[in-house]
Structure 1
Amino acid sequence: MKGNGKILYHYCSVETFFNIIKGANLWLSDIAKSNDYQECMVCREIVNERIKEYLKNDIKSMEAWENWYKNGVEVNSSIRTFCVCFSESEDQLSQWRGYAQDGKGIAIGFDKKILEELNLISEYHIAFGKVIYNKSEEYVKEIVDDNIQKFEYKGVGHVALELSQNYRMKFPFIKNPGFEEEREWRAVVCSQVGNYNIPSSDKILFSKIKYRTSNDKLIPYIEMNFEKIKQNIIKEILLGPKSEVEIEDVVNFLKFCGYYENVEGGYNSNSPISIKKSVTSYR
């Protein structure tokens, strides 16, 4: 079900919902550990193939590109991409099944306009935007043309070596078309592995890289703390079609966690945060 365009939904388990609300934190996990093993590779490889097509009649340049492109990928392997995902779709059955305990979980509706402010923090480390599945030609062409222009004043090998680093904030926003129904938006942070500070703003704070376990894996992740704007950033909470959580309990939990402090005119399940049950007939 399509949303209103102003709210983006993060589908999650009840436990994750509890931790997000209590700590005013979203976790951005290492994208390489996601369920799509081609994450970040799709866009990069399309760009690679287009540039090779451009160089196909120059054997020497082609060899330089191929060798240094591979080196660039290897050199930048220590730079990890961290991501948290949202969906345009409100009350989407596939999202309930895949990301919210088969319908027992909860979807948190975040203010898209506030999330878009992430793009103002650091263009080299943080990005927020809509995932492209099929209509990627213009997006890819811009990257390809930019690199071809660099051949005028840089060696082909030099440009190839820098590709993975220079466009690391662009690559995560093209995804395999098989995931199109997710209608995804994502917040992305790129950081070197290690004890590095991530740029933050006066509204949203990023932690250093931390670690957790999930499905027998060690998962690096970064916390995105929205404590300072928690009364503004969350607009809606949707209980899954198989959820056993009561609306009244959510209202009381939000009060306990400070989401209703200094709210004029009182609060309830409709205002200032809309709390409702999924209408999807799934059991």
Structure 2
Amino acid sequence: MEGVLADLTTRIGGQVVCFSSASDSLAMWRGYGQLVSGGEPVAIGFCEADLTTLAKDSCFEGPEMVSYESGPIPEILDFFEGELDAGKHVETTHRLSKFVLLYKNKHFEEEQEYRCYCGGTFSSRDRRFGQFSEVGGEFRKVFRLSLGEDKIFEGLKNPLGIKRILIGPKANQSKIERYLKHYFAMHKCMPPETDVSKIPFV
């Protein structure tokens, strides 16, 4: 068991990228929309197929829906009876690390969260392809929204994987739409469709 916990510490030192299927939720606008600098919050709607492609290219797994239940812990603990052989050790570590990365307290269920995730290891492949960034003196894997520099549409169904932009409460719709039109025109792509939040206030 000590070996499993030691390996687990390495694995859960990884990262998660969080998404939500609650696109127009008062709680979400209040919790996250007000953090946006400039007071122009938007909800970026990604294409799930594109996220799967981008996650694989960035050496992440997912997207997978977060579990708000107790999860498979009782089943996993059954493995701890007796000695763990190599196969059982690897399987137990993998199942526990996935549980930790994909579990959230049920009080957050309104967020309807999905995650792309990766372990805490940093490979030579990440270094070779520049898929890392240094943050606080530690290496972090980069989750890229394109499959190549300045190729925001190549290999994807939507530019940058973005299917839709939902403009938040009190945000300047015309300003945001002008920005989107200009940005995507530079890359010779049509901008994603936009919609406006139905929430009248935050």
Q: What is the TM-score of this pair, normalised by structure 1?
A: 0.52
Which residue number in structure 2 is paired with residue 130 of structure 1?
65
Structure 2 counterpart of 1:276: 195
1:165: Cα distance to partner?
3.5
* Counterpart Cα distance in 1 of 2:194 and 2:49: 20
- 1:92 is displaced (CA, Å) by 1.3
- Aligned partners of 1:84, 1:165: CA distance in 2, in Å? 21
RMSD: 3.7
Gaps of 5+ in 1: 1-67, 199-205, 261-271
Query: Paired residue for 1:64?
Result: none
Distance 1:239 1:278 in 2: 6
Matches within 5 A, 1:46-195: 68-69=1-2, 71-79=3-11, 80-101=13-34, 104-117=40-53, 126-134=61-69, 136-137=70-71, 139-140=72-73, 143-144=76-77, 147=79, 155-156=83-84, 162=90, 165-167=93-95, 168-193=97-122
Residue in 2 aligned with 1:209? 132
> Take 2:117 and 2:54, find their aligned partners in 1: how far apart are those partners?
9
- 2:176 maps to 1:253: no
Higher relative contact order (CA 8 A, sep 6+): 2
Q: Cα 1:141–1:251, aligned 2, differ >3 Å: closer, same or farther?
A: farther
Unpaired stretches in structure 2, ≥5 consecutive residues = 147-151
User: What is the CA–CA distance in structure 2 between the aligned matches of 1:101 and 1:223, rounded to whole Å?
Assistant: 25
Q: Distance in 2 between matches of 1:197 and 1:99?
A: 34
% same residue = 23
Which residue identity lines up with residue 110 of structure 2 in the other structure? Answer: E
* Kept after mapping to 2: 8 A contact 1:118/1:126: no
Contact between 1:76 and 1:164, CA under 8 Å: does it hold in 2? no
Larger Rg: 1
Q: TM-score, normalised by structure 2?
A: 0.70
Secondary structure of the 2:14 match is strand
8 Å Cα contact 1:86-1:185 kept in structure 2: yes
Question: Hey, what's the Cα distance between the residues in 2 that align with 1:94 and 1:110?
Answer: 20
Matched residue SS, 2:198: coil
CA contact (8 A) 2:46 2:164 kept: yes
Q: What is the alpha-carbon distance in structure 2 between the residues aligned to residue 97 and residue 207 of structure 1? A: 36
**Contact residue 72 and residue 160 of structure 1 kept, 8 A:** no
1:129 offset after TM fit, Å? Answer: 0.5
Q: CA deviation at 1:108?
A: 0.7
- Find the aligned partners of 1:120 and 1:240 in 2 and give their Cα distance: 30
Structure 2 CA distance for partners of 1:125 and 1:243, relative to 1, 3 Å: closer
Q: How many pairs align? A: 185
Instruction: Mark the CA change 1:133 to 1:236 in structure 2 (over 3 Å): closer, same or farther.
Output: same
Instruction: Give, in angstroms, the shift of residue 105 of structure 1.
Output: 1.5
